[in-house]
Amino acid sequence: MKEVPLSTCERTSLVSSIHAGLRYDHRKFMEVRDITLNFGKDFGSCSATLGETRVLAQVTCEVVEPRPSRPNEGKLSIAVHLSPMAAPHLEPGRTNDIVDELQQILDRNIKESRCLDLESLCIQAEESVWQLRLDVTVLNHAGNLGDACNLASVAALRHFHRPDVTVEADGRVTVHTLEERQPIPTFMRKVPVCLTYAFFMEGEHCITVMDPTEQEERVMCGRLVVGLNPHGEITSLLFPGRMMMEKETLLSCIRKAFTKAKSVAETVQQAVEDDLTQRKTVSVKPRGYEVKNLRSDTDYNRWLIDQRVDKRKLMIEENVMPMEEEMQDPFEANVQQPEDSEDSDVNPPATSSKTPLGPSSHKKKKKESVMANGSEEEGDEEEEEVKSKLTAEDLL
């Protein structure tokens, strides 16, 4: 199917609102969309969302012969898949520019940066090693696939546990099932983070925006994808041209990326650890991607509206005129002092993106279409519906 065209009006409206300091989704220029991480019932499966962008990463392993050039290192292979599910114009089974680029970003950030301790994946030098296979599938393409894929991949790899093995005296290798012996976690030395900046030109002046949505990606002049880890190392840089930039602007973006990278890395680590400890303590088997554990895009949007309504209510209570506040804020933050815009971020993403906090507290209230015990939460549901009714009117 053909790509949905972006009309000239939409294009100009998007660009001019960015020139005016506003984004369609009410974010500040340096604000990253909400991150959630969910883990599957087995080890090494992670579904990450970055706003509406949704990526599934799955790690599997098998015993293979090592490369002759590196006899005591395990192998890691990464494959990126895009199906029409991600966006209707993508054709199944065919490589396209997006896949090629994502593959390059992931290869550099995860494979070439050697963030994974491949030597610990060796079973017997020159004989057998573990090969980890990382499959990254984009489920919904709503912009900034690089960051989302990187996020899901890193979380899946950190979450992954491989089965224990014993090597017999005669060199035979026995792989124990997860029930027989405790599986062994992978060891990731550093957490690679990927951050994307989009650039918009307003005459000679350049506006930098973080984490562009799909619409923004279609109208932006150029972008910079930085792969880095919180230790201060750059694992990949991709500024594929399409526009001219001053060196200083680029470098200042890269420098600023580090503060952000720290919080993102913490989010990932925290989410993985939370899930792993839960698996250890709770005797019940993890339910994985059950419907009630994942948040749909509709619910995400409703949650965004709820948040805005809550915020506005709070403002009214404090006798602040909401309209003025909202209009001034982005201008102050981004136009007058573009350098400091990041610091003025009121709520860093770490707080909002911690999986248990924001989204899932809402999720408890979320209506679940659960057949067996659907009736239990009727009360909650009604309350919720009243609320959503309110919000919609509020916004009108």
Partner 1 sequence: MAQHACDLTFLSRSDGSALYSIGLTAALASVNGPGDVKVSNRLYNRSHVEVCYSPSTGHPMIRERALESIIMRTVEKAILVHLHPRTAINISIQEMQSDGLALSVSVNAACLALLDAGIQMKTTFAAITCCITPFGTILIDPTEAEIQESVAEATFVFDGSGEAKVLTALQDGHLSYEDFKRCLQQCQEASKDVFAFYRGTIEKKYQNEIES
Partner 2 sequence: MDVISPEGLRQDGRTPTCLRDISCRLGLYDRPNGSAYIEIGNTKVLAAVYGPREVRSLSKQNLDECVIQCEMSRIAACQGERVRRPRDQRTRALSLQIAGVFHAAIRKTKYPGSQIDIYVQVLQADGGVTSACINASALALIHAGVELMDYVVSCTASINKTTPILDVTQQESVTGCEVTVSMLPNKGSVVSLDCAHTLHLDQLDEVVDLAMEGCQQIYKVMSQEVETYLQDKNAVMSHQ
| Residues engaged in binding partner 1 (CB under 8 A) | 1-2, 40-42, 45, 47, 52, 54, 56, 58, 60, 79, 81, 83-88, 92-93, 133, 135, 137, 139-142, 214, 285, 287-292, 294, 296-299, 301, 367-374, 385, 388-389, 391-392
Q: Which helix (H) or strand (E) holds 123?
A: strand 122-124
Q: What does DSSP assign to residue 227?
A: E
The interface partner of residue 273, options being partner 2, partner 1, none and the CB cut-off 5 to 8 Å by kind, is none
d(CA 151, CA 194): 8
d(CA 396, CA 391): 9
The Cα-based distances of 50 to 22, 173, 300, 389 in angstroms read: 20, 41, 11, 26
Structure tokens at 98: 């997006």
Closest distance of CB 208 from partner 2, Å: 14
Q: Cβ closer to partner 1: 163 or 227?
A: 163
| Residue partners of 201: CB distance under 8 A and separation at least 6 | 207, 221, 243
The interface partner of residue 219, options being partner 1, partner 2, none and the CB cut-off 5 to 8 Å by kind, is none
First to last CA, the chain: 34
The interface partner of residue 290, options being partner 1, partner 2, none and the CB cut-off 5 to 8 Å by kind, is partner 1
Q: Cβ closer to partner 1: 55 or 272?
A: 55
Amino acid identity, residue 257?
A
- Closest-CA residue to 274 (of 174, 158, 377, 142): 158
Closest distance of CB 130 from partner 2, Å: 23
Closest distance of CB 382 from partner 1, Å: 11
The interface partner of residue 389, options being partner 2, partner 1, none and the CB cut-off 5 to 8 Å by kind, is partner 1
The interface partner of residue 267, options being partner 1, partner 2, none and the CB cut-off 5 to 8 Å by kind, is none
Closest distance of CB 167 from partner 2, Å: 31
Reduced to 3 states, what is the DSSP secondary structure of residue 202?
strand
Whether 261 and 230 have beta carbons less than 8 Å apart is answered as yes
Contacts to partner 2 by CB under 8 A: 2, 95, 97, 99-101, 103-104, 108, 112-114, 222, 224, 228, 232-247, 250-251, 254-255, 258
Closest distance of CB 153 from partner 2, Å: 17
| Residue partners of 79: CB distance under 8 A and separation at least 6 | 103, 133, 134, 135, 136
The interface partner of residue 292, options being partner 2, partner 1, none and the CB cut-off 5 to 8 Å by kind, is partner 1
Closest distance of CB 359 from partner 1, Å: 14
Q: Cβ closer to partner 1: 138 or 224?
A: 138
Closest distance of CB 319 from partner 1, Å: 29
d(CA 345, CA 349): 9
d(CA 319, CA 395): 19
The interface partner of residue 233, options being partner 2, partner 1, none and the CB cut-off 5 to 8 Å by kind, is partner 2
